Amino acid sequence: MTPTEAQDKINLLSTELEQHNYHYYVLDQPTISDFEFDTLLEQLIELEKQFPECLSSNSPSQRVGGQITKSFASVKHQYAMLSLSNSYNQEDLIDFDRKVREGLGIVSNGLFDEQIEYVCELKFDGLSISLIYENGQLKQAITRGDGVQGDDVTTNAKTIKSIPLKLNGHFPPLFEIRGEIFMPRPVFDLLNKEREELSDALLANPRNAASGSMKMQDSAQVAKRKLDCFLYYLLGENLPHQSHFENMQSAKTWGFKISDEAKICRGIDEVIYFINYWNEQRYQLPYDIDGIVIKVNNYNQQQNLGFTAKSPRWAIAYKFKAEQVSTELLSIAYQVGRTGAITPVANLQPVALGGTTVKRASLHNADIIEKLDVRVGDFVFVEKGGEIIPKIIGVDLTKRNINTESTHYITHCPECNSKLKRDEGESNHFCPNENECPPQVIGRIEHFVSRKAMNIDSLGGETIVQLYKAGLVKTISDLYDLKKEQVLPLERMAEKSANNLMEGIEASKKIPFERVLYAIGIRHVGETTAKKITKKVKSLEKLITLTKEELLDIDEVGDIIAISIANYFENEANKNIIKKLIHAGLQFELTDEQQQGGTEKLKDHIFVISGVFEKYSREQYKEMIELHGGKNSSSISKKTSFILAGDNMGPEKLKKAESLGVKLINEYEFLEMLK
């Protein structure tokens, strides 16, 4: 196949895949099966590998992610992203309507008043985004930031299937469209279920999850979060219509996901009816909304009304009040987490709230309990504002029984009776008995065997509890002393399950050092930090000997992590566990293959890679840079040391490099640096 033939085939596949994406993620009308879609995508990726010069930055293959963004460039908005004035009652809305009339010079005539045409839209609870399109292709995606400038998250935005990379139909040559990136409720619930199985901290709500996802450095991880995006505001010259609603309908034909719930309302009474309807129906939606946005539809009227310093005069946001109920506090339980943190939880008389039945509510910590003066037997006000566990916001003192006693926060662990600690500056109490307190021990084992750590997937939470209660496993190192005949008597443990468990434990001995370091559960040492540490120190033996100052020299290791590492290896119980793990044959140093070729030749140098190369792929060059102590970045800044430039380097990057005086080198000059 010639490059020309390949380009034609790539164009054909790209168009077909984007059409299928549009039907599935925007219209909710899939036209082919997932298997057929994946087959087409694999064909496209294979062709682009064979003919890298044909790869477009807006290819459907880019939606799977894989690019790493170490820092997000700050970009100034062409049009400031102003916030909206908020209203919380009908009086505010009526006053808004009055001001709009006065601003437009419309005199009230009683029953025959001229009605303003408003557009009412759902106020999605997520992350505001601005998308810029040039000649029908996505050019840039920018977060709201402070309204004047935001972060360039284009790479991550491309992984969201409902954001079109190429448009259809007739559209302006250059325009901006704004919307909200959000995480659907079913996706959020599934994600938290997976995190719970891994003993990871649960995400608070879909809004925070969406915002955090868009700032992830690895776009492949963003793609796994299955984010979605509604668009609701068009900006630019030569827009097709003179009204907001019509322009959004046109945007829908270009390929954008526009909410079908938006509606034209004539007069403020229809607006209020729309708000009241969705205040009741919002819990039926598969995503979160926290209000309704009201906009004057006509652009000429918008222009006449203008702006204040902070917000447009032609729009307002009606915020739903977080639903509150009153119910009886039956008891207060204290839960112990994997790290030993104590969380007080209120057990309530079951009550309907926000479309669900609430039986528990968070009390957060001792300070909150003292501040609210909450007592068992009180009738408390419970609010659910998008959080997983609703929270108690107050006490109905009119219903308080005079015989109720003040709540005294526990002083000893409810699981092991150890005296609790509370470090200065910490909001939570902690149980210090990390090696014998049952929930901590079980939680640490669950973390150790989790997919991102030792990946012993045949060892689930229930089996771990059984092993612990049977006295077979008290520490993570005890797993490697298990015998098949010991686990067979366990409940629901058949011959095949026992074999799988023993094979999984044996296979985990080949897990590389960086994941073993993450698995042993040193507080504050996550996946990325563990990877940075192992690359630097090469072995556990070297890590144990490092001083605090030497630890601080490692990328991403600060004071808290350095102290945590030192404390971990000073603990005698931890030392014994590590000795047993070493004896069991776990990997506590990098192999010769992993260490081969590593130097510090590129230390303190930051590289940006752009273009197509002959000798090695972009990913291989990135690995070389990291192997020799350098850092990769996706964006050019004053801190950039070199741009490794291949053929077809992007003109925007070239222009920025020249303006900042960043040196460009080709791949042969780069390889010469490594000699």
One-letter-per-residue 3-state SS of 142-178: EECCCCCEEEECHHHHCCCCCCCCECCCCCCCEEEEE
8 A C-beta contact, residue 121 and residue 175: no
* 356-362/342-353 β-pairing: antiparallel
8 A C-beta contact, residue 608 and residue 643: yes
Domain boundary among 510, 527, 559: 510
Query: Tokens 């030192």 appear where?
Result: 566
Q: How far apart are CA 115 and CA 357, in angstroms?
A: 42
Mark whether 393 and 459 lie in a shared domain: no
Domain CATH for 27: 1.10.287.610
Q: How far apart are CA 516 and CA 309, in angstroms?
A: 54
> Considering the domain boundaries, does residue 72 fall inside one?
no
The angle formed by the CA atoms of residues 188, 191 and 192, to the nearest 5 degrees, is 90
Of 330, 124, 158, 326, give the one whose Cα is nearest residue 233. 124
- Average pLDDT per consecutive 10 residues, the chain (675 residues; last block may be shorter): 85 86 75 78 84 82 71 86 88 92 79 80 94 94 88 92 92 95 91 71 80 86 91 93 96 95 94 93 89 95 88 92 86 89 92 79 89 93 72 90 91 95 83 90 92 86 90 94 91 87 93 92 84 87 89 82 90 93 93 68 87 78 80 82 83 80 90 84
Query: Tokens 């994946």 appear where?
Result: 38
Active-site residue identified among 49, 123, 469, 638: 123
Q: Quick one: how far is CA 417 from the chain centroid?
A: 37
Instruction: Count Cβ neighbours within 10 Å for each residue of 376-398 and write b for 16 or more, e otherwise.
Output: eebbbbbbbbeeebbbbeebeee
Rg of the chain taking only CA atoms, in angstroms: 29
8 A C-beta contact, residue 151 and residue 75: yes
8 A C-beta contact, residue 420 and residue 399: no
Domain CATH for 626: 3.40.50.10190
Q: How far apart are CA 655 and CA 660, in angstroms?
A: 9
How deeply is 410 buried, as exposed, middle or buried, from its count of CB atoms within 10 A (0-12, 13-18, 19+)? middle
Mark whether 14 and 152 lie in a shared domain: no
Q: How far apart are CA 640 and CA 631, in angstroms?
A: 10
Query: Tokens 């930031």 appear where?
Result: 145
Mark whether 155 and 290 lie in a shared domain: yes
What is the per-residue pLDDT for 15? 86
HSE on the CB side for 231, CA within 13 Å?
A: 29
Mark whether 576 and 591 lie in a shared domain: yes
Of 319, 332, 320, 321, give the one whose Cα is nearest residue 392. 332
Mark whether 340 and 288 lie in a shared domain: no
Q: Is 123 a catalytic residue?
A: yes
Of 517, 603, 599, give the one whose Cα is nearest residue 561. 517
> Considering the domain boundaries, does residue 462 fall inside one?
yes
What is the per-residue pLDDT for 593? 64
Per the structure, the count of domains in the chain is 6
Mark whether 128 and 221 lie in a shared domain: yes
Domain CATH for 582: 1.10.150.20
pTM: 0.55
Query: 158 is written with which tokens?
Result: 């491309």
8 A C-beta contact, residue 382 and residue 392: yes
Amino acid at 308: T
How deeply is 157 buried, as exposed, middle or buried, from its count of CB atoms within 10 A (0-12, 13-18, 19+)? buried
Enumerate the β-bridge partners of residue 507: none
Query: 613 is written with which tokens?
Result: 């190369």
> Considering the domain boundaries, does residue 239 fall inside one?
yes
8 A C-beta contact, residue 182 and residue 124: yes
> Considering the domain boundaries, does residue 600 fall inside one?
no
Residue 325 DSSP SS3: strand
Phi, psi at 301, each rounded to 5°: -65, -40
Q: How far apart are CA 119 and CA 293, in angstroms?
A: 8
What is the per-residue pLDDT for 129? 96
Mark whether 497 and 521 lie in a shared domain: no
Mark whether 309 and 175 lie in a shared domain: yes
Domain boundary among 447, 482, 510: 510
**Strand spans (E) along 387-502:** 391-395
Q: How far apart are CA 321 and CA 383, in angstroms?
A: 10
Mark whether 238 and 117 lie in a shared domain: yes
Spatial strand order in the sheet of 137-143: 137-143, 127-134, 174-182, 228-235
Q: How far apart are CA 610 and CA 595, in angstroms?
A: 27
Amino acid at 55: L
Domain range for residue 330?
Answer: 323-399
Enumerate the β-bridge partners of residue 141: 131
Q: How far apart are CA 139 and CA 451, in angstroms?
A: 36
Mark whether 352 and 467 lie in a shared domain: no
What is the per-residue pLDDT for 108? 66
Q: Quick one: how far is CA 413 from the chain centroid?
A: 33
> Considering the domain boundaries, does residue 81 fall inside one?
no
Q: How far apart are CA 314 and CA 431, in angstroms?
A: 55
Long-range contacts, stretch 551-558, CB < 8 angstroms, 24+ apart: 556/528, 556/529, 556/532, 557/529, 557/532, 557/533
Mark whether 106 and 183 lie in a shared domain: yes
What is the per-residue pLDDT for 200? 62
Phi, psi at 199, each rounded to 5°: 65, 25
CB within 8 Å of 508: residues ≥ 6 apart = 449, 454, 455, 456, 586
Domain CATH for 159: 3.30.470.30
8 A C-beta contact, residue 381 and residue 392: yes
> Considering the domain boundaries, does residue 423 fall inside one?
no
Residue 401 DSSP SS3: coil
Residue 345's CB: how many other CB atoms inside 10 A? 16
Mark whether 505 and 521 lie in a shared domain: no
> Considering the domain boundaries, does residue 417 fall inside one?
no
Instruction: Count Cβ neighbours within 10 Å for each residue of 534-568 and write b for 16 or more, e otherwise.
Output: bbbbbebeebeebeeeebeebeebeeebbeebeeb
> Considering the domain boundaries, does residue 411 fall inside one?
no
Of 58, 46, 73, 66, give the one whose Cα is nearest residue 21. 58
Of 335, 348, 334, 336, give the one whose Cα is nearest residue 392. 348
Residue 216's CB: how many other CB atoms inside 10 A? 19
Q: How far apart are CA 311 and CA 317, in angstroms?
A: 11
The DSSP element (H or E) to which 331 belongs, if any, is: strand 323-336
Q: How far apart are CA 504 and CA 512, in angstroms?
A: 15
CA distances from 467 to 150, 520, 622 (A): 51, 18, 44
CA distances from 114 to 104, 106, 266, 296, 445 (A): 11, 7, 9, 14, 69
Domain boundary among 570, 595, 620: 595
What is the per-residue pLDDT for 110? 56
Of 183, 234, 230, give the one whose Cα is nearest residue 204. 183
What is the per-residue pLDDT for 197? 64
